[in-house]
Amino acid sequence: MSEGVIVDLGIRGRAALVLGSTSGLGGASASALANEGARVAFVGRRKERAVELAGEHEGSLAVVSDLTESDAAQTLVDEVMAGLGEIDILVLNSGGPPPGTAAGLTAAEVRSAVETLLVRQIEIAELVLPSMRSRGWGRIVAIGSTSIQEPLAGLALSNIARSGLAGYLKTLAREVASDGVTVNMVLPGLIGTDRIAQLDGHRAAAANVDVTDVQSRSLAAIPAGRYGFPEEFGSVVTFLCSAQASYVTGEQIRCDGGMVAGY
């Protein structure tokens, strides 16, 4: 049997800031980057978990941050740069807002979702961009949702705010490509995370059915026949951060097992 080929993704030693990286898709993405030799800032509200994850990867950093706070962006970036130096890789990520319908939304609910899923993400990107552009290398990858391409019923706030971020990133990608900075999104479908388990439970309660019934209907809509693994998603994010992906920018890459029927 021949030995497997080891691919060097060209990010060993690069400094990576991954938002919301103490669990879920952010955590899977941060760990995948760290496994490739990047020096990763594991960021979240839970100090113990951030410290635990950073301790598993040499050269990584644990940062406690709450992105709902108004001064969170500048404070976060300053702390990461103090610990890791100039940021080469930025993975944008945020927890999803509460589920709900579009009819009946309040202005306060919309402002809250947009502040966290759009405004704060843009603030952080704008803080790291000047250094990336001046050094001629940078990777920005946003963890989005397939709802950007096919809005999901019962997730109105997420549909609204994440679509706004997609518009910003697509515009940005064209503006910074000549500076060696790529900007992409990875759109998860149903990946086996606590967030998906929470949403399955919410749908089951709303329909007064067992959660297994909700899961069965979801699986029937996924050609791959299963929920995805967080590690699979993290690998896609990591590739887009690699040297090999230097000509991929302005893209939305779905990781959904074929669930979305459109092109």
Mark whether 76 and 164 lie in a shared domain: yes
DSSP one-letter string for 49-85: HHHHHHHTSTT-EEEE--TTSTTHHHHHHHHHHHHH-
Domain count along the chain = 2
* Residues of the domain holding 196: 191-227
Mark whether 209 and 129 lie in a shared domain: no
Per-residue model confidence (pLDDT) at position 6: 64
Nearest to 121 by CA among 94, 146, 148: 94
Instruction: Please state, in angstroms and rounded to a whole number, the distance separating the CA atoms of residues 33 and 234.
Output: 8
Mark whether 212 and 234 lie in a shared domain: no
Q: Is the pTM of this model over 0.85?
A: yes
Which tens digits make up the pLDDT trace of 13-24?
999 999 999 999
Q: Residue 152 belongs to a domain with what CATH number?
A: 3.40.50.720
Mark whether 245 and 152 lie in a shared domain: yes
Longest dimension (CA), the chain: 62
Domain membership flag for residue 239: yes
Mark whether 84 and 196 lie in a shared domain: no
Mark whether 181 and 208 lie in a shared domain: no
Mark whether 153 and 220 lie in a shared domain: no
Mark whether 110 and 233 lie in a shared domain: yes
Q: Does the structure show a pLDDT above 80 at 183?
A: yes
Q: Which of 2-16, 110-124, 134-148, 224-238 has the lowest mean pLDDT?
A: 2-16
Percentage with pLDDT > 90 across the chain:
79
Which tens digits make up the pLDDT trace of 76-89?
999 999 999 999 99
